[in-house]
Amino acid sequence: MKRHTTLGEFIIENQKDFPYASGELSALLSSIRLAGKMVNQEIGKAGLVNIIGASGIENVQGETQQKLDLLAHELFTSTLRSRGEIAGLASEEMEDFLVFNDDIHRRARYVVLMDPLDGSSNIDVNISVGTIFSVYRRISPVGTPVTLQDFLQPGNQQVAAGYLAYGSSTILVYTTGNGVNGFTFDPGIGSFFLSHPDMKVPEEGNIYSVNEGNYVHFPTGVKKYIKWCQDVDESTNRPFTSRYIGSLVADFHRNLLKGGIYIYPQGTKLPEGKLRLLYECNPIAFIMEQAGGKASDGHTRIMDLAPEALHQRVPFFCGSKKMVEKAEDFMAQFTN
Ligand code: AHM
Ligand code: MG
């Protein structure tokens, strides 16, 4: 009989592969799993909010409905805080980072950076959204409050990263630097089951994902790369297919499974690009590299960039190795 592995079992079984195994990271991942289930449940009810409101049924506290991205932020923050495995948290939803400043949390060795609900503007139209997270070991001494430097570490220092995609099914994908595994949520049982072991992205894909509406603003290298994707050439299977949902986790998840490239470049409207280095690009880059793909800003490996600010934006090129390399060739060739 086929064995069904739950996420909880998998985390425990693989704890020994982690260089600093002490159980803390396992507990932290379990907290993310729990908060993810809560967020998943809230998202599932999103379309009902107006109907319930119209019929006069309010929630038990009589509260007005909160925006889901803020609710997701609160659910992750409170769940992670209540367990004591992290000393602080930075979120796309907050200007500054949170310091968990009591005896238990000051002794914790990890910090988390996250985008609690990415692509949340898509919820109204029933399109998949996601949570993205990233875990680092703090560099400030254990026993003291965390500092900004704990959060401004380059992506190559990540000890774990992952995302939840709330889509036609809900999936949690994560890495601790030992490959990538995906777990699909069974809502009847309330557990995540290993559905995508050892995920690998095809080296050469044929999907390109970019908001082409911004084409006139793109750097010449990106424009040339897009035209190259659209050229006819049987030997490289071109023209490629264009797929862009406008919800990073969903676009990324599809490209990870099928092979493809996601690009959010710099442009005259957004000189640094749109996506955030710490909350979006680093964790997604870690997963993509662990699956055999690549992620850069068009020139430099994303995970080698030295962060300067919590909410820093960077251009993002991420996906199948050969596709990213080809796009980088165009970026090197055309410098304006
Ligand atoms: P958000 O963090 O404000 O939700 O924005 C990030 C989202 C990504 O999910 C998506 O890939 C991108 O913005 C889409 O941007 P655009 O609408 O400019 O193409
Ligand atoms: Mg976001």
Alpha helices in the chain (DSSP H): 7-14, 24-44, 49-54, 68-83, 103-106, 148-151, 220-230, 248-258, 282-290, 321-333
Indicate which atom in ligand 1 lies nearest the CA of residue 118.
4
CATH class of 207-333: alpha beta
Indicate which atom in ligand 1 lies nearest the CA of residue 211.
19
d(CA 79, CA 260): 35
pLDDT at 82: 92
pLDDT at 53: 42
CATH topology of domain 7-196: Fructose-1,6-Bisphosphatase; Chain A, domain 1 (3.30.540)
Residue nearest to atom 4 of ligand 1 (CA): 119
Domains 7-196 and 207-333 share a fold: no
| Closest ligand relative to 115 C-alpha | 2
What number of other Cβ atoms are within 10 A of residue 238's Cβ? Answer: 14
HSE value, Cβ hemisphere, 13 Å, CA-based, for 128: 21
Q: State the maximum Cα–Cα separation within the chain, in Å, rounded to a whole number.
A: 63
pLDDT at 242: 98
Ligand 1 pocket (Cβ < 6 Å) reads 92, 115, 118-120, 211, 246-248, 251, 274
d(CA 305, CA 321): 19
pLDDT at 120: 87
Q: Which residue has the tokens 């699909």?
A: 184
Supply φ then ψ for residue 273, to 5 degrees.
85, -175
Domain boundaries, the chain: 7-196, 207-333
Output DSSP code: residue 168: S
d(CA 113, CA 283): 9
Residue nearest to atom 15 of ligand 1 (CA): 246
Q: For residue 139, how far is its CA from the centre of ligand 1 (angstroms)?
A: 31
Which of 127, 222, 248 to mutate for ligand 1's pocket (most ligand atoms within 8 Å of CB)? 248
pLDDT at 49: 66
Single-letter residue type at 206:
N
Direct distance between the N- and C-terminal alpha carbons of the chain, in angstroms, rounded to an integer: 59
pLDDT at 51: 55
Q: For residue 224, how far is its CA from the centre of ligand 1 (angstroms)?
A: 23
Report the DSSP pairing between strands 241-242 and 207-209: parallel
Is the pTM for the entire model greater than 0.85? yes
Grouped pLDDT means (10 residues each) for the chain, 336 residues: 83 78 86 97 81 43 66 96 94 96 92 96 90 97 97 98 96 97 97 98 98 96 98 96 98 98 92 97 98 98 98 98 98 94
Q: For residue 283, how far is its CA from the centre of ligand 2 (angstroms)?
A: 12
Residue nearest to atom 12 of ligand 1 (CA): 246
Structure tokens at 317: 């090129």
Q: For residue 119, how far is its CA from the centre of ligand 2 (angstroms)?
A: 6
Q: Are 318 and 209 in contact (CB under 8 A)?
A: no
Which of 123, 266, 274 to mutate for ligand 1's pocket (most ligand atoms within 8 Å of CB)? 274
